[in-house]
Amino acid sequence: MRSAVAMSELTTLRVGGKATVADCATTEALVATVRALDAAAVPVLLLAGGSNLLIADDDVPAVVVRIATEGVELGADTVTAEAGANWDAVVAKTVRAGFGGLECLSGIPGSAGATPVQNVGAYGVEVADLLRRVQLLDRATGETHWVAPADLAFGYRTSRLKHRSDAVVLAVEFALDPSGASAPLAYRELADRLGAAEGESRPAAAVRETVLGLRAGKGMVLDSADHDTWSAGSFFTNPVVPADQVDRVRAAVRAQLGDVTFPEFPAASGVKFSAGWLIERAGFGKGFPGPDAAARLSTKHTLALTNRGAATAADIVELARTVRDGVADRFGIVLTPEPVTVGVEL
């Protein structure tokens, strides 16, 4: 184990106190380490890519188990990745091998094991669309087993695995298209860039290249030299408003902004509104609150809260609260943070 490791070195927000870290480079070591710590009643914090974590500035009162497993295997129409494998590297490997399916999820930071926890999605594709199964360690019994997507209660950016610690993701398996065609294009901006109609497919390699370009333009591809990427990605999820409250929200928006057209999308339980659009119209533009702030909204995308080089977790929390409360005061919608928080409350 390593002691006094700064969490700012292991998270994409680059904030957080110090912790004792146990590095696990194999699935066997990961299982054995978690079993041993659980048997000794030692608190555990699981960490892989660190791209969806906001950790407090105080020292972490747990052993951080760093999932550093990296194995990736391609089958005839599948890819199986160990939990610690870099997600974008997994996607890149499938595309280089001539498979389609995962290309719209290119450029997303973090690990393969985190993708089903969050039901990661982008450009009209979600992990739940392509996932075949997940290997889990049951911490109550110490046993490992595979589960099907139907057992994971997937929803918009959530699953049965989120905000609970009784299971550890060890590996994931995804279905692929051996023809090399992309998933049907379901996001207008992406389809337009590719000269396609929504619902059409294009070669996976072309879609991946276009997605990476779109994400980079929004500061959503990690770059150590670009502080707009020192973030947890989209900090707030797009709010899904229940059907019986949609008219109230629309009226609140128009009361503030006049007879405007605003982005909204059908959702299973109501209507999904754009968090980024609401944030900007609530008065929080790109770069808010200004160039001298330690924590700012990205200068490229209002959904990302960024560390400009010297921010603390407290700075990120203060900015998140300001944005969340401002949107709630103006439009009556309370935005939900997407990152997992450790030792802080928003």
Active site residue 157: yes
Please give the Cα distance from 67 to 27 (Å, whole number): 8
* 338 flagged as catalytic: yes
What is d(CA 193, CA 202) in angstroms, rounded to the nearest whole number? 11
3-class SS of residue 308: coil
- Catalytic, out of 82, 173, 264, 338: 338
Pick the catalytic residue from 234, 264, 281, 298. 234
Active-site choice (66, 157, 208, 281): 157
Residues 137-142: contacts with CB under 8 Å, at least 24 apart: 137/30, 137/31, 137/34, 137/167, 137/168, 137/170, 138/166, 138/167, 139/34, 139/38, 139/165, 139/166, 139/167, 139/168, 140/166, 142/35, 142/38
Report how far Cα 63 is from the mean position of its chain's Cα atoms. 23
What does each C-alpha distance from 45 to 110, 202, 227 come to in angstroms? 16, 41, 26
Q: Which active-site residues does the annotation give? A: 157, 234, 338
